[in-house]
Structure 1
């Protein structure tokens, strides 16, 4: 399997907070897995505050995968507003042992379903300045007013892709769509992340995929298949195989470098 691109992004200084969004054209392509690995790799490498924000209105599996219970939701934080200090936020936002703070769309499915553009904007205003890095775990697709707002607020995107021709094509089309609606610069700062890749027998031609994506995005990163990720339960970073950890580090470094390439 071709090596992932080398980046020193995790060593670069952050002068103003960066917002990174993990998107995918359909469910089941590993968005939440990649968002967790990206946020964890960044938190471990930098020892800075990293927020993992759930932007999925379908009451996704983020909290389950993180192994922690929600304290407050984005609705609660939006109503509270910026408390003025991280110490106050610390009583309302869950945090795991890796130092990743996690904010769900809702504490119930109904509350998640009600998460929309206005709540996202108000919640981000409340937390933005307290976290040098915010990673948003988005729902499937990029249509709708909520996703338009999330995309427009992002310094870089991770486009999660399964190792299949239809998923690669959908991601390729998404990058072209970003170009067509005025987000060409953001597309060029995007990282395509191909997950669950069988190192010994990849289902697609990875070299061809990299060549196809090269004119449209910043880099392509591959995440190898890992037995620990297969059950879709609590993701424990220390239980990942060494190649998976290296890939998570590569993903975080590349996307942060891309996010820091703009003011």
Structure 2
């Protein structure tokens, strides 16, 4: 009974006492110091000794004691050693144990970075921009894929079959694209000059000039200009919304200061189709002063900024401006009305050109048959067409349009569909007669 009480007292007293532990690698001793008695526990732990691997021991550095308060200055000197990776030999211990030797350093010409491993073939020189061709960059599968068709039924079939069935464009769309391809014909070798002329006034020469220029400017991506070279006060600038009061006279006077296209734009007016129009002199007292030399100055300026220049000529076919115009002409457009006298005067214009050394222009000429003039319904237009086809390359009919009959501003978007088609056909026929590469 006494022994159980003593053990209970010892246990309750141990909760309030301090413990002191002394631990090392061989044994651990815990001493409990109660008020009356002390109990000592001794635990024997195994000693853990780490064995150094032989490949670590081969490259280990021996510990050298260093005095903290004294450093030899000679020990701070830097010494360089040159050695070859192949000269490193294994220790006898490594050779006996079969341990792997120290790996050799990589050669200098071997790429050691991730970027170097990815790009093994290093080009000697950088590539130029011309090497980024479509054949190199475009996936052939996507390149050869046909574009979506145009046309009501064609588009429905294309959508219902999830773009698997492509029957191509409709007939009207194919005709339109073929016409646009003719109009957008590319040229090299300078500006192409196309005079529009006739010996009779009032047949719609200025209107045909505006229609031709608008059709070209609306379809082509380059710059088109229409020059009013009528020495008798032309009205070409009145067919569009004028944005400047400048005329050909201003171009002649300011030719030395018009160096850039932005400066030249201040003397021309531009309509909704991006057609630029250069007006003629409005003062009848000075209009006759516009001569051959003045036209050459204006044409030289237009040749710097435009791809196609259309010239609205006057009725004075023997005027000096006409001589300069025909010398620069690449093709000509003869305007004829639908009456007997209008057709006869247009044919006489061709005869005059043939007699004055311009037979090549006559063979390549285009006759615009304006059917909006008086008397058109009373004559046989087929006979007029047959006559001109025997002398020129092509004949194009221009139908009546109320927007043109007023003689005021022409809005190309508001024209009838057949009128716009006729203007586009005239533009395509004129472009067909122009050489892609100028040889002279």
The alpha-carbon deviation at position 71 of structure 1 amounts to 3.6
Which of 12, 16, 36 is the aligned partner of 2:185?
12
Q: Which runs of 5+ in 1 are unaligned?
A: 1-5
TM-score of the aligned structures, taking structure 1 as reference length: 0.90
TM-score of the aligned structures, taking structure 2 as reference length: 0.55
The alpha-carbon deviation at position 107 of structure 1 amounts to 4.7
Q: 1:88 to 1:69 in 2, by over 3 A?
A: closer
Name the counterpart of 2:272: 97
Contact 2:248 2:281 in 1 (8 A): yes
Name the counterpart of 1:240: 415
Runs of 4+ in structure 1 off by over 4 angstroms are: none
Structure 1 position 61 matched with structure 2 position 235: yes
Q: 1:154 to 1:203 in 2, by over 3 A?
A: farther
Name the counterpart of 2:204: 30
Structure 1 position 228 matched with structure 2 position 403: yes
CA RMSD of aligned residues (A): 2.0
> Higher relative contact order by CA 8 Å / sep ≥ 6: 1 or 2?
1
Which of 312, 320, 327 is the aligned partner of 1:152?
327
Spell out, residue by residue over 1:97-126, the C-alpha distance to the aligned partner (whole angstroms, 9 max, x if none): 221111112253334332111111111112
Which of 296, 321, 336 is the aligned partner of 1:121?
296
Q: What is the CA–CA distance in structure 2 between the aligned matches of 1:61 and 1:26, rounded to whole Å?
A: 15
| Structure with greater proportional strand content | 1
Q: What is the CA–CA distance in structure 1 between the aligned matches of 2:378 and 2:426, rounded to whole Å?
A: 21
Name the counterpart of 1:174: 349
Spell out, residue by residue over 1:82-101, the C-alpha distance to the aligned partner (whole angstroms, 9 max, x if none): 63321221223222222111
Name the counterpart of 2:368: 193
Which segment is superposed worse, 152-161 or 202-211?
Answer: 202-211
Contact 2:241 2:269 in 1 (8 A): no
The alpha-carbon deviation at position 132 of structure 1 amounts to 0.2
Q: What is the CA–CA distance in structure 1 between the aligned matches of 2:378 and 2:424, rounded to whole Å?
A: 23
Computing the radius of gyration from Cα coordinates, the structure with the larger value is 2
Q: Which runs of 5+ in 2 are unaligned?
A: 1-177
SS at match of 2:378: coil
Q: What is the CA–CA distance in structure 1 between the aligned matches of 2:321 and 2:437, rounded to whole Å?
A: 23
Contact 1:23 1:141 in 2 (8 A): no
